[in-house]
Structure 1
Amino acid sequence: MTPPPQANSQRKALVLFSGGQDSTACLAWALDRFAQVETLGFDYGQRHRVELDCRLQVRAAMRAQFPHWAAKLGDDHLLDLSLLGQISDTALTEARAIEMQANGLPNTFVPGRNLLFLSFAATLAYRRGASVLVGGMCETDYSGYPDCRDNTLKSLQVALSLGLDTPMTVETPLMFLTKAQTWALSAQLGGAALNDLIVEHTHTCYLGDRSHRHAWGYGCGTCPACELRARGHDEFLASGSAA
């Protein structure tokens, strides 16, 4: 369980920040709780590499529009994990059709991705004096990725803390939220201004499409990531939480 905000007043967090809706909600969540927050992105040869540009735009917009968070928002880091793309055979790292596989997982699943991300993040956090890793993993509205499950992340938290010989907390504030509830969370944290920022600047589309603008943001509108984001946005608006 996450300690109350006042208990985190001296802690430093590192947010795994892709520039998408979920990681932006997590960044706002962390800025609302921790004394200092840094961000970390990964270049692993992803097909939707445009997200690497969007993440910088999101950070700049958050600094400009939320001055009470600006002082807490520290350095950004980008790690080259191109080796992951080289050893992966997925629709997220190659130009191929998105489809379900015989094992029941979509071929957008990059094996070991979150395990590697958090391991590298923990290494950086250790050097930067951060004791909290924040990620947007979720097992409610998701594609069934096994490395997004709560048990996976809890186990990894134990392994990282033991391996570093220092407590390393892995926080996943979206773990049990639907996508509609994620929209509601960002509205709670930053109001309509934050959700407007998410619509305009974040990127989710697996195909890297920034040419089509929808009510929920930019994307092809047909890939699983776009469909999930669009459905969540519709449900959020229908719930009246946006009012």
Structure 2
Amino acid sequence: MHSKETALVVLSGGQDSATCLGWALERFGRVSTIGFHYGQRHTVEMDCRLRLMDEVRRLSSGWNERLADDTTVELALFRELGRTALTHDVAIEMGRNGLPTTFVPGRNLVFLTAAAAHAYRQGIRHIIIGVCETDYSGYPDCRDDTIKAMQVALNLGMESRFVLHTPLMWLTKGATWELARQVGGDAFVEVVLEHTHTCYKGARTTGHPWGYGCGDCPACDLRRQGWADYLRNCSGGGC
């Protein structure tokens, strides 16, 4: 660990945020988590995050001691503001604006604002979110420039000194699997594989070598390819 401070992880229940949780547990004295019900079609991820935290606690006594409180927040406004493929039964495709229909406008901006408001009340300075600009769907609120701008805005608006950490920003999905192995070993990789959910459609009845999902949506495609890249790297002596 490099800090005795507390960090707050935005934990969705997916592969990326789970990896960020492991990353934080290796670096901070205490780690709190926050999750959001925003009317997502794949609401099963919110069930997965609870099991995920239980499994993480079992992996390491140190992680168990450092993993602190969890908070969930209701954000029904995203369903009320408009239809997207993550909040309504809408086809997953590219929209006329050049962004996929899975883009929920303002989602990560609101997540970070709510997380910072919670962190402010708890005296937490470090906020961790699993956004990525390398393997992503083109979401503008996942870009490095956006996160840097949000850090400035939150610090000005709350007169604070928050630090927004994005450990996956420049990693491919294969490298994200490798980061999970680096912070928690093969046992943590197995937990991420079995107990996280990434599929946009919320399908969790079919298991694949790379985890559960419909196998057809863009999120499943990314996870499948990332797992294949990770195994390829391992077979070449990278693990």
Aligned to 1:50: 44
Which residue number corresponds to residue 196 of structure 1?
A: 190
The answer on 1:159 being equivalent to 2:153 is yes
Answering whether residue 142 of structure 2 is matched by residue 148 of structure 1, we say: yes
Unaligned 5+ runs, structure 2: none
Rounded to whole Å, the distance in 1 between the matches of 2:157 and 2:30 is 24
Asked whether the equivalents of residues 187 and 242 of structure 1 are also in contact (C-alpha less than 8 Å), the reply is no
2:176 is the counterpart of 1:182: yes
Partner SS state of residue 75, structure 1: strand
Match of 2:165 in 1: 171
Q: Does 1:31 find its partner at 2:54? A: no
Matched ranges for 1:92-107 at <5 A: 92-107=86-101
Match of 1:71, SS? helix
Do 1:192 and 1:242's aligned partners in 2 also have CA atoms closer than 8 Å?
no
Whichever residue aligns with residue 181 of structure 1, its letter is A
Amino acid at match of 1:86: E
2:230 equivalent to 1:236: yes
- 2:122 maps to 1:128: yes
Task: Give the match's secondary structure for 1:89.
Answer: coil
Equivalents in 2 of 1:242, 1:205: separation in Å? Answer: 27
How big is each residue's C-alpha offset from its partner over 1:57-109, in whole Å with a ceiling of 9 and x where there is no partner?
A: 00000001222111000000000001122113100000121000122110000
Aligned match of 2:200: 206
C-alpha separation in 2, matches of 1:103 and 1:130: 37
The whole-number CA distance in structure 2 between the counterparts of 1:83 and 1:162 is 25
Compute the displacement of 1:131 (Å). 0.3
Q: Within the alignment, does 1:69 sit opposite 2:34 as a pair?
A: no
The CA deviation at 1:242 is: 6.8
Residue 9 of structure 2 aligns to a residue in which SS? strand
Amino acid at match of 2:119: A
The one-letter amino acid of 1:66's match is: S
TM value normalised by structure 2: 0.97
Answer whether contact 1:22 1:182 (CA < 8 A) is retained: yes
Shift in Å at residue 163 of structure 1? Answer: 1.1
User: What is the number of equivalent residue pairs in this alignment?
Assistant: 237
